[in-house]
Amino acid sequence: LFDGLTRQPADPLLGLTALFEADRRPDRLDLGVGVFRDEQGATPIMRSVKAAEGRLLERQDTKAYLGTEGDPLFVRYLADLVLGPERADDPRLTGIQTPGGTGALRLGAELLAGARPDATVWIGTPTWPNHAPIFRQAGLSVRMHRFFDPSRSDVDLDAMLADLANARPGDVVVLHGCCHNPTGVTLTAAQWALVVRFCSTRGLVPFVDLAYHGLGDGLEADVAPTLALLEAMPEALLAYSCDKNFGLYRDRVGALWVQGATPGSATLVRGHLQALARSMWSMPPDHGAAIVREILTESVLKEDWKAELETMRGRINGLRAALAALHPALAPIGRQRGMFALLPVTPANVAALRVDHGIYMADSGRINIAGLRTASIDRFVKQLGPFLPA
Ligand code: PMP
C-alpha cells in the first residue's frame, strides 16, 4: 500500500538543529528555527505565562470537553486585544480558536475550498515555506506573485501588483500582517492602502496572516494595517498566532476570524468553521489558550506580559540596529521588522559559515535575528563580511 508513495524531503531546519546540537564549539550560533531567544540563547517561558499556569493549576477543576470552537472567552478577550472592543462586536465578524496560526490558516483554507473550490490563492515570494502546502492540501490552486526585491532589500510593489493583475474576482491574496517571514520588509501605510484598494476594486479576498503581533513596532502599530484592511474590505480572513508573542510555541494557540459581507453570512461561516474543525481536530488544545485567557483577563498579568513583549521587541530591534550599523550591506535590516532577515548570501556561503565558524542558518540566508548575541555581534559581522556585497 505505502510503497507507491513518493519520498518526502526532510525538513531542512530540523536537520540544521540536529547539526547545531552536535557542534561543541562554545561560541556557536543557532540562527535557524524561528523561536525567540534571549542573550544566552535560551527560549524561556514568559513570567506572565508561568504565573497564569500557576493560577490554572490551582483553580482548574475539570478537563471535560469544550466545543469545536474552543474556549469562547479566549476568543473574546483575544478579539478585544487584537481588533479592539468595538470591532470585536461587529456582527459581520466571527472567530474561533485554532491549533496555532497553522490551524487557523488551514481552517480558513478549507472554508475557502468549500465556498469557492476554483479560487486561486496568491502568495508573495519568498514566504513562510508552509503557506503554499497548507492551501494546496486543502485542494486550492496556488500561484506565487513577486513581493521582495533582493537588489533593494525592499518590497517591489509594482511587480506585486503587476502579477496580481492576473488574479480573477474571488481569488484570495495572502498578506503577512506584520513582521514578514522571511524578509522582515513591510509595506508602508500608503502601499498597504494601495494593495487594499486593488483587492477591493478587483473583488479579491485578503487572507491576513498575523503571527508576530507585538514583535515589530508594538501591539497597536503591528495590527493597524490589518484593522484598516478589515475596515475597507467587505470580506476578509485573519489567521492569528499567539505562539510567538506569548512564547507558547508547542502549546499551539491561535484563532481564525472571518469577516462576511453581512451578519447572516458570518453566521453561515461560523457553522462551517465548526463543522470543518470537528472533522480535522474536533477541538483545539486548551492549555495554551487558557493561559492566554488568564493573562488577558487579569490586569497585573496583562501589564507584565506587555512589558515582557516589549523587552523581546527591544532586543530584536536593538540587534537589528547593531547589525545595520556594522556593515553597509546590512543597513536595510535596521529598517525591517520582526524575527527574520534574509542575508544576501549563497548556499555555499551558508555552508562555509557553518563549517568554519559554527554559524547555523537556513540555506536561503534567512536568519533568526533573536538567535544573535549582542556580546558577539561584532564577531558575527566580521565572519559574515567576506560574503557580503561591498
Ligand atoms: N505564519 C507565519 C508567517 C509563521 O512564520 C508561522 C510560524 N512559523 C505561522 C504562521 C504559524 O504559527 P504557529 O506556530 O502558531 O502555527
ipTM of the complex in this document? 0.99
Instruction: Tell me whether domains 2-45+307-387 and 65-297 share a fold.
Output: no
pLDDT tier for residue 260 given thresholds of 50, 70 and 90: very high
pLDDT tier for residue 212 given thresholds of 50, 70 and 90: very high
Helix (H) / strand (E) element for 297: namely helix 287-297
Of 49, 40, 109, whose CA–CA distance to 256 is shortest?
A: 109
Identify the pLDDT of residue 312. 98
Q: Could you tell me the sign of the dihedral formed by the alpha carbons of 343, 348, 351, 356, in that order?
A: negative
Domain range summary for the chain, segments of one domain joined by + = 2-45+307-387, 65-297
Q: Give residue 125's identity as a one-letter amino acid code.
A: T
Q: pLDDT tens across 121-179, in order?
A: 999 999 999 999 999 999 999 999 999 999 999 999 999 999 999 999 999 999 999 99
For ligand 1, atom 4, name the residue with the nearest CA: 211
CATH domain 2-45+307-387 topology? Aspartate Aminotransferase, domain 1 (3.90.1150)
> Alpha-carbon distance 387 to 234, whole Å?
47
Task: Give distance in angstroms: CA of 383 to centre of ligand 1.
Answer: 30
Describe the crossing of helices 189-202 and 219-232 by its angle, rounded to 10 degrees: 30
Identify the pLDDT of residue 390. 80
pLDDT tier for residue 12 given thresholds of 50, 70 and 90: confident
pLDDT tier for residue 11 given thresholds of 50, 70 and 90: confident
Give residues (CB < 6 A) around ligand 1: 34, 100-102, 128, 176, 181, 209, 211, 241, 243, 254
Q: Which atom of ligand 1 is nearest to the CA of 181?
A: 3
Q: Which atom of ligand 1 is nearest to the CA of 252?
A: 15
Task: Give distance in angstroms: CA of 134 to centre of ligand 1.
Answer: 11
pLDDT tier for residue 10 given thresholds of 50, 70 and 90: confident
Q: Which residues are catalytically annotated?
A: 128, 209, 211, 244
List of residues 6+ apart from 201 with CB closer than 8 A? none
For ligand 1, atom 2, name the residue with the nearest CA: 211
65-297 — its CATH code?
A: 3.40.640.10
Q: Which atom of ligand 1 is nearest to the CA of 241?
A: 15
- Which cell numbers in the block locate residue 362? 537556513
Task: Give distance in angstroms: CA of 102 to centre of ligand 1.
Answer: 6
Task: Give distance in angstroms: CA of 101 to centre of ligand 1.
Answer: 5
